[in-house]
Amino acid sequence: MIKTDILIIGAGPTGLFTVFEAGLLQLKCHLIDALPQPGGQCSEIYPKKPIYDIPGFPEVLAGDLVSNLMEQIKPFQPGFTLGERAQTIEKLEDNTFVVTTNKGTKHQAPIVAIAGGLGSFEPRKPLLENIGRFEDKGVAYIIKDPEIYRDKKVLIAGGGDSALDWSIFLADVSKEVTLVHRRNEFRGALDSVEKVQRLKNEGKITLITPAEVIGLEGDKQLETVLVKIAGDDEPVRKQIDNFIPLFGLSPKLGPIADWGLEIEKNAIKVDNTLDYQTNIPGIYAIGDVNTYPGKLKLILCGFHEATLMCQSAYQRIYPDKKYVMKYTTVGGVNGFDGSKKEAPKAVVKVIE
Amino acid sequence: MSDIKIKIKDREGVLHEVDAPTDMNMNLMEVVRSYELAPEGTIGVCGGMAMCASCQCYVISDHDLPEKSDDEDAMLAEAFYVEDNSRLGCQIHMTSDLEGLEVVLAPES
């Protein structure tokens, strides 16, 4: 059981900044995120795109904003459970919560802050009616352990970075790699596109374009895929062991929707007059995942919500402690790792 | 008067005729959201960067639309339910040329 003061669900910019504000109040944080890396949408969807409305940054790339936040919260030593989705929540008699992920990792905290953005990112599944039957029986949407594909015949579908990168990687591991895409053009880093071109020329990757997988066949295990090349009447039947469709990820609110929280317009209703608490005391929702009159889904609003939420969380954990907010310029930043940042003292010296 | 009239069929098949401003730097996805013709969180997920295809629509009137950018073209190459007349709503800017535009929202995926 992982124990912490504030359990943050979602490691996007709002979740990350919560660690800083909590840290100033000497509260420890742990973050859960379904993606394998922190940063949420900023890292997953648009790391190379600029943002122009972060106060004090005339322009910052989304990926750089995430790196800066990670640097800023480092002294407060946040814990991370990445690549796992928060699945269930249970309230214990001592008023703490236990959140369990889809992989069974348990976390306990008196405060839960949902900073889940648009939800957890789930793979987009191609529209093949029997695809569900072959999931984990030859079909996978995410590559967790590439070793599974050693000496196998693999077919990857998709035209983006992950389709290109995994085709390159598996070309050395698998017996046979086929890449199917609806266009002749691929959208990816130039380097990856060129590498796939080279591997194709060397005969290590078979490219089928413009084409689409239109059917799956097999008894207990996937055995054959039907690939239809644009312009052809009949599909080609291809014997394979594994089919890996990589069509990107789309966010879904997911299991959080069943936690008994008040939901409106795919978002969690909170009290915006006070502290962004949900209808369940001790559970807060901040950033894009919440809604209230006048809500704006902006990173800068998430930062503000995180700040107020942490003050409320502190009072909830320590109802009898007296506390007033202190400027970082005055109080400095005292990390849990023993680091200390503070404003340099003015020099007092006589000028003769 | 800088509004144009456009027709949008939502995902339930209901037709809406709405006024879209041409002076607010708005795109079709934002018009759909402003009239709440699709639930929040199911359209414009990436915010309008041509990176999610949640605002895909089929253009059924014969308006001369601007060419697709490489980004839009690549995104549509990876989206589902794509037809020849598919476009991303976030890449269609409201201009006076689009008076009478008719679109159908593509299914959620």
Residue A264 belongs to some domain of the structure: yes
Residues A168 and A192 sit within 8 Å (Cβ to Cβ): yes
- For residues A261 and A115, membership in a common domain is answered with yes
- For residues A209 and A102, membership in a common domain is answered with no
Find, among A77, A92, A74, A72, the residue nearest to A4 by Cα: A77
Instruction: Extract the tokens encoding A69.
Output: 């936040």
Residue A176 belongs to some domain of the structure: yes
Q: Tell me what pLDDT residue A328 has.
A: 94
- For residues A115 and A172, membership in a common domain is answered with no
Instruction: Extract the tokens encoding B7.
Output: 């027709």
- For residues A117 and A254, membership in a common domain is answered with yes
Instruction: Extract the tokens encoding A335.
Output: 């990390």
Average pLDDT over chain B, rounded to an integer: 93
CA B68 to chain A, closest CA, distance in angstroms equals: 14
Domain boundaries in chain B?
3-105
B45 part of contact set with chain A, CB < 8 Å: yes
Residues A17 and A123 sit within 8 Å (Cβ to Cβ): no
Report the C-alpha gap between A331 and A252 in whole angstroms: 40
Residue A347 belongs to some domain of the structure: no
* Whether residue A7 has pLDDT greater than 80: yes
- Chain B CB contacts of A257 under 8 Å are none
Instruction: Determine the average pLDDT of the residues in B65-76.
Output: 91
Report the C-alpha gap between A259 and A261 in whole angstroms: 6
Instruction: Determine the average pLDDT of the residues in B65-74.
Output: 90
3-state DSSP assignment of residue A236: strand
- B16 to each of B35, B87, B88, B92, how far by Cα in Å? 9, 19, 19, 18
* Whether residue B44 has pLDDT greater than 80: yes
* CATH code of the domain in which A81 resides: 3.50.50.60
Q: Measure CB to CB from residue A45 to each of B42, B51, B81 and give the nearest one.
A: B51
Q: How many CB pairs under 8 A join A and B?
A: 58
Query: B3-105 adopts what CATH topology?
Result: Ubiquitin-like (UB roll) (3.10.20)
Is B80 in Cβ contact with A266 (below 8 Å)? Answer: no
3-state DSSP assignment of residue A176: strand
- For residues A76 and A162, membership in a common domain is answered with no
A267 part of contact set with chain B, CB < 8 Å: yes
Instruction: Determine the average pLDDT of the residues in A245-273.
Output: 91
- For residues A290 and A307, membership in a common domain is answered with yes
| Domain extent for A199 | 131-247
Q: How confident is the model at residue B1 (pLDDT cuts 50, 70, 90)?
A: low
* Whether residue B81 has pLDDT greater than 60: yes
Instruction: Determine the average pLDDT of the residues in A111-132.
Output: 92
Q: Tell me what pLDDT residue A188 has.
A: 80
- Chain A CB contacts of B45 under 8 Å are 118, 250-251
Average pLDDT over chain A, rounded to an integer: 94
- For residues A6 and A113, membership in a common domain is answered with yes
pLDDT in tens, B10-34: 999 999 999 999 998 899 999 999 9
Q: Tell me what pLDDT residue A326 has.
A: 87
Structural domains of chain A, count = 2
Predicted ipTM beyond 0.85: no
3-state DSSP assignment of residue A138: coil
Is A159 in Cβ contact with B41 (below 8 Å)? Answer: no
Is B41 in Cβ contact with A266 (below 8 Å)? Answer: yes
Q: List Cβ neighbours of A172 (8 Å cut-off, separation of 6 or more).
A: A204
- For residues A238 and A259, membership in a common domain is answered with no
A184 part of contact set with chain B, CB < 8 Å: no
- For residues A115 and A137, membership in a common domain is answered with no
B2 part of contact set with chain A, CB < 8 Å: no
Instruction: Determine the average pLDDT of the residues in A302-319.
Output: 97
